[in-house]
Amino acid sequence: MFKASSTRAKPVDREGLEQAALIKELELSLPAVAALIYHVPNGGHRHKLVAIKLKGQGVKAGVPDLVLPMARGGYFGLYLEFKATAPNDAAVSASQHAWIRRLNDQGYLAIVCRGHFDAMEQIRAYLRLPQTMVAA
């Protein structure tokens, strides 16, 4: 007797889709921010040998997903740990908490954002802070 094989749907990367939507919105509404913000690709599944190579090159677990090197409000820059919105959100890991704490201790603003709209709101709030002036 023929038995149909069950096909599992591929998991959807909700976090990645929401983060891509954020970048697209920044490109459209805040091009100066879009020109500077960048993603730290330290997550995802990799072949074991590639992971070992990247670790040797400085990849570290827990580093926030997005970096905005614009100094505002006395901070040197903004780091965003990006999580998808509920119910697709993930917990903040111990290594992510540690990185956020260390970055804040070094004069950066490092925060967790839940989804593209929250991240956009946080970026806009950060940009409203006065530019950090560096004494020469």
Nearest to 79 by CA among 42, 25, 134: 42
Q: Any idea which architecture 14-128 has in CATH?
A: 3-Layer(aba) Sandwich (3.40)
- The mean pLDDT value for 88-107 works out to 93
Q: What is the reported pTM?
A: 0.86
Nearest to 93 by CA among 123, 115, 63: 63
pLDDT in tens, 16-60: 899 999 999 999 999 999 999 999 987 666 677 877 787 787 778
CA-based radius of gyration for the chain: 18
Cα–Cα distance for residue pair 119/115, rounded to 1 Å: 6
Cα–Cα distance for residue pair 112/7, rounded to 1 Å: 35
Residue type, 79: Y
* Tokens describing residue 34: 């879009």
Percent of the chain exceeding pLDDT 90 equals: 62
The whole-number pLDDT of residue 36 equals 98
Asked if 102 and 71 touch (Cβ cutoff 8 Å), the reply is no
The whole-number pLDDT of residue 8 equals 74
